[in-house]
Amino acid sequence: MVLNQDTTIGRKPSHAIIYVKKNENKVRIRFISVKSREVDTLKRFFSGVQPSGNLTIGNYLGAIKQFVELQHEPDAEAFYCVVDMHAITVAQDPEELRRRTREIAQIYLACGVDPKQATVFIQSHVKEHAELGWLLQCASYMGELNRMTQFKDKAEGKANVNVGLFTYPILMAADILLYDTTHVPVGNDQKQHIELTRDIAERFNNKYGDTFVIPEPKIQEFGARIMALDEPTKKMSKSAESEASRIAILETPDVFKKKIMRAVTDTENSIAFDETNKPGISNLLTIYSMFADESIESLVERYHGQGYGTLKKDLVEVVTEQLSKIQQRFNEYNDVAELDKILRAGAEKASVIAEQTCNRVKDAMGLLRI
Ligand code: AQP
C-alpha cells in the first residue's frame, strides 16, 4: 500500500507494513501492535556517534565496524546518524563542531557505510529528535537518570554541569525509539542507556497502549570496550584529556606508533589474554585481533615466547594498514556538496518515519493535533 505523506494513519494499527512516499523517498513505516511485531520480521538498526572529538579506533571497532556489517543484513534497514545534539551537552567550539559533524559523516562513508544501503543523516536535521526528547522527559523519572554511570563519570569534578548532560539518556531514548528500532549496535559503555530506553518504552506502552518497539542492544562479544593505551583499566575515549590514551582514525602512523610502543602493559613480558590481570596486553591483543581478523588464540600461540616489543611493532603495522585504507577513502569523499546531498536525502527519509512516530506519541499522550 502506498500512502501519501498526509495520509492519516490510525493509532491502533493492524499488522500491515505501509509505505509512505515523500518526494523521491519511499519509506517503510511499520505498524507496531504486539500482533504486528509477531508477524513482522523486518529488523531496523539505529545508532549514532557524537562529534565530540576526533573519532577513535574504539568508536570504530565497537560501533562503526558493526554499522558496516549490519547494513548488508537481509530484510533489515539501517539508520546511522551523527548525534550533534548530544555533543553540545559539553562545551564545544561552534566552528569546530560544524566541521566535525561533517567529518564524522565522511568517516562513516570512509569506513564503508554505504548511503545506498543505510540512511545517513545529522540528528539536528530531524527536528523530531528534540521533540520526542521532550515528550519522553515527561515520561521519565529523576531516579532512573540518577543511576546513569556515564553522567556520574562525565560530571565528576566539574563545577557547572548543564542539565542536558543529565537528561542526555532521554534524548538518546528518543533517537532510538523514533525509528521503531529493533537493534542498536553500540559499544559496551552504552548498555545502561539502552536498558533505560527499554524501561521508558515499556512503561510508556503499558500506560498509553502499544506505541514503541522495544529495542535490543547489539553489543559485540569481543571488542565492545577498547581500553585506553596509557591506562588500560579505563575506556578509550575521544574526549579524554590524555592524547596518549587513544588512536584517532585519521591519525598518521608517526603519531600513533609512539602511543602503541609506549602503551602500558605489565612487567611479566609474557603474551597472554587475561583482561583482569593483564589488561594492557589483552587490550593490544584485542585491537590486533579485530584489525587483522585473526583470533586471540592464534595470536597468543604465534607470539609465544616473544617480548611485548615485537607484538607492539607488528601491531603498528596492522593498524597502519587498516587505517590507511580508511584514510584514503576519507580523502576520496572530500566533496562537501556531494556529502551534503547524502545528508540532506538521509534527513528527509528519516523525517518521514520520525514524524509518524512523534504523531503517534502525541496522540497517545493527548496533545491536540489539528
Ligand atoms: N572504547 C570504546 N570501545 C568500544 N566502543 C566504544 N564506543 C565509544 N568508545 C568505545 C562506542 O562508540 C559509539 C559512539 O560513541 P559516542 O560518540 O556516542 O560517545 P561515547 O560512547 O561516550 O564515546 P567516547 O569516544 O567516549 O566519546 P566522548 O569522549 O565524547 O564521551 C558508541 O556506540 C560507543 O559505545
Ligand 1 touching residue 239 (CB < 6 A): yes
Beta strand spans in 87-169 (E): 118-122
Q: How far is the CA of 267 from the centre of ligand 1 (A)?
A: 29
Lowest mean pLDDT among 10-14, 155-159, 197-201, 275-279: 10-14
Write out pLDDT tens, residues 233-268: 999 999 899 999 999 999 999 999 999 999 999 999
- Active-site residue among 65, 218, 238, 312? 238
Ligand 1 proximity of 50 Cβ (cutoff 6 Å): yes
Q: What is the Å distance from ligand 1's center to 58 Cα?
A: 7
Q: Is the beta carbon of 190 within 6 A of some atom in ligand 1?
A: yes
| Residue written as grid cell 591519525 | 251
Is the shortest distance between the CB of 235 and ligand 1 below 6 Å?
yes
**pLDDT for 367 beyond 70:** yes
pLDDT at 42: 87
Distance 225 CA to ligand 1 centre (A): 9
Is 238 assigned a catalytic role? yes
- The pLDDT, as a whole number, for residue 269 is 87
Dist. CA 211 → ligand 1 center (Å): 29
In the chain, the percentage of residues whose pLDDT exceeds 90 is 85
Cα 187 to ligand 1 centre (Å): 7
Quick check: 273 and 310 in contact, CB under 8 A?
A: no
Which residue has the least CA distance to atom 33 on ligand 1?
186
Inform me whether the pLDDT recorded for 7 exceeds 60. no
pLDDT at 154: 86
The whole-number pLDDT of residue 25 equals 56
Q: How far is the CA of 12 from the centre of ligand 1 (A)?
A: 37
Q: Of 369, 370, 361, 367, nearest to 133 (Cα)?
A: 361
Q: Out of 12, 21, 65, 154, which one is annotated catalytic?
A: 154
Site to probe by mutation for ligand 1, drawn from 46, 50, 151, 168 as the one with most ligand atoms within 8 Å of Cβ, is 50
The pLDDT tens digits for 24-76 are 555 655 544 444 444 467 899 999 999 999 999 999 999 999 999 999 999 89
Nearest ligand 1 atom to the CA of 239 is 29
pLDDT tens digits for 167-189?
A: 999 999 999 999 999 999 999 99
Percent of the chain with pLDDT over 70: 89
Burial label for 315, CB within 10 Å (0-12, 13-18, 19+), is: buried
Residue range 115-130, pLDDT digits in tens: 999 999 999 999 999 9
Out of 18-22, 76-80, 340-344, least confident range: 18-22
Q: Dihedral (C-alpha) 270, 271, 275, 278: value to the nearest 10 degrees?
A: 30
Write out 169-214 in H/E/C secondary structure. Answer: HHHHHHHHHCCCCCEEECCHHHHHHHHHHHHHHHHHHHHHCCCCCC
Domains and CATH numbers, the chain: 41-219+358-365 (3.40.50.620), 243-332 (1.10.240.10)
SS3 293: coil
- The model's pLDDT over 296-320, given as tens digits with 9 standing for 90+, comes to 999 999 999 999 999 999 999 999 9
pLDDT tens for 321-340 read 999 999 999 999 999 999 99
Q: What integer pLDDT is reported at residue 157 of this predicted model?
A: 83
**Are 285 and 302 spatial neighbours (Cβ–Cβ below 8 Å)?**
no
Question: Can you tell me the distance from the alpha carbon of 195 to that of 216, in angstroms, rounded to the nearest whole number?
Answer: 8
User: What is the pLDDT of the chain when averaged over all its residues?
Assistant: 91
* 258 classed as catalytic: no
Q: Is 92 exposed, middle or buried (0-12, 13-18, 19+ CB in 10 A)?
A: middle
Handedness of CA 165, 246, 106, 215 (dihedral sign): negative
| Cell numbers found for residue 95 | 566552528
Residue to mutate, 45, 57, 59, ligand 1, most ligand atoms under 8 Å from C-beta: 59
Measured CA to CA in angstroms, residue 363 lies from 12, 32, 80, 356, 360 at distances of: 11, 15, 27, 11, 5
Q: What is the pLDDT of residues 84-98, one digit of tens each?
A: 999 999 999 999 999
Distance, CA of 351 to CA of 175 (rounded, Å): 12
* Residue of 83, 32, 18, 8 lying closest to 201 (CA atoms): 32
Burial class, 5, CB count within 10 angstroms (exposed 0-12 / middle 13-18 / buried 19+): middle
Extended strands (E) in the chain: 2-4, 17-22, 25-30, 43-49, 76-82, 118-122, 183-185, 216-218
Catalytic residue list contains 154: yes
